[in-house]
Homo-oligomer: A and B are copies of this chain.
Amino acid sequence: MATSLKLGLAGFGNVGKGTYDVLKRNKNLIADRTGTDIEVKRVVVRNPQRVRPLVDADIPVTSDWRDIVNDPEVNVVVELIGGIEPAKTLILESIAKGKHVVTANKALLAECGNEIFEAAQKAGVNVAFEAAVAGSIPIVKSVREGLAADDIEWIAGIINGTCNFILSTMRDTGRTFSDVLEEAQKLGYAEADPTFDIEGIDTAHKIMLLSAIAFGIPVNMDKVHIEGISKLDPKDIKYAEELGYRIKLLGITKKSDKGIEVRVHPSLVPNKKLLANVEGAMNAVVVKADAAESSLYYGKGAGGEPTASAVIADLVDIARTAEVHASQRPKMPTVSADKNVNHWTDFGDIVTSYYLRIPVEDKPGVLADITRIIADNGVSIEQMIQKEAPTKEKGTEVILLSHSAKEADIQRAIRTMQALASVRGPIVLLRMEELN
């Protein structure tokens, strides 16, 4: 009665190799546990010569992805190539032939997901993507199935290991961003071109996918506010620490009466929260829901075998639900644009609390000006401290933590303060998440 999956494996980098190796090593365990026989039918890679010795001799290793699409025995395609093309065409053509798809490709799904999910729905096949978000952590499953009963309020996650490694190291050592980035590149924690990671784009892809699942909305990258960590000053990490906070790059999505918001930016997190204590390249996601309340999921966000663990879990689920009606399967993100929840919160309307660092002249009246401007814009101050600037810069710096306020109000206050003659340089704005 065992369902049998015959895989076309596209891509044999770390994750492709991890998937192949774990399937082989734990074959009996997986079959015994799940009633599912999973067999790699063929492998497609750019350079078959490199991969040939890594794969059993009876499995064809070729270079044309159409070999997977055109093999009628392949019933599941595992896309681990990454990037938009040829991954997208491979997936769409596979779907058209009635094959299920498992992918770790967050960029593709976040940018072109609606087209892909719509095609899959029409064809009655699954596109599973646990491995696309937070590697080994079963966060897609937990949100979609574990919290199936819950009205989800918000999700906040550390879902890019490169950024978390850089931020942890900056805090531990006091070194600058560019200095630590270089180390991360040497250690293999950051790519030669790190833009996708450090500018928050990778985090944005992942939090958009989680938002789509949690709130039943189509993916829409145009609505995501994205700020990375490349401009972060070690000084702010130090001041935050003194105030009892750690700075993490968070992907955040939240539902309010104004709509859905999806945003990525460095955030001050109270250091008593577990999320603040997620160090190095590890990932963690907090979900706030109406019945379950707060839960957190932590694990390896990248790496060959950790990500393979998620790929294979998806394969087992596909086997399990292959014969049930599509309406009974865990839902792929909707592609229906008229979902009434599909109202997006304007970024100016988001409400959070703020950290400001304002470089000022050290003279009477400056603090009075600043506090008046803040108050005039309807923002209330929770805490304010003054810091001596390094001697060569002269002047002082005012560090200000606000209570909850509207983004547009704080931005207006900053514009007004920036125009003061006594403000000596750019005001630094960071957002704070209390995670309550």
Interface residues of A (CB under 8 A from B): 1-3, 18, 22-23, 25-26, 29-30, 32-36, 130, 136-138, 141-142, 144-151, 216, 274, 277-278, 284, 289-300, 303, 305-306, 308-313, 316-317, 319-321, 323-325, 327-331
Contact = CB atoms under 8 A, between A and B. Distances in A.
Of A26, A136, A305, most buried by chain B (CB within 10 Å of CB) is A136
Work out how many copies of this chain go into the complex: 2
Contacts of A298: 274, 295-298
Given A149-B22, A278-B274, A306 B292 contact: yes
Nearest to A339: B32
Given A292-B300, A327-B1, A309 B138 contact: no
B147 A309 contact: yes
Given A274-B277, A289-B309, 18 more contacts: A25-B151, A30-B148, A35-B327, A145-B316, A148-B312, A149-B308, A149-B309, A149-B313, A149-B316, A291-B308, A292-B299, A293-B306, A296-B299, A297-B297, A320-B321, A320-B330, A321-B321, A323-B328
A316 B30 contact: no
A325 B216 contact: no
Contact of A148 (B297, B300, B305, B313): B313
A306 B327 contact: no
B148 A316 contact: yes
A298 to B, nearest CB: 4
A349 to B, nearest CB: 24
B136 A293 contact: yes
Of A149, A292, A297, A300, most buried by chain B (CB within 10 Å of CB) is A149
A237 to B, nearest CB: 19
B309 A150 contact: yes
Contacts of A18: 291
30 contacts: A1-B328, A3-B328, A33-B148, A33-B331, A34-B328, A35-B327, A35-B328, A36-B328, A136-B291, A138-B141, A138-B142, A138-B145, A138-B295, A145-B317, A146-B313, A147-B309, A149-B308, A149-B313, A150-B309, A274-B277, A292-B300, A292-B306, A292-B309, A292-B310, A293-B299, A293-B305, A294-B300, A297-B298, A320-B324, A320-B328
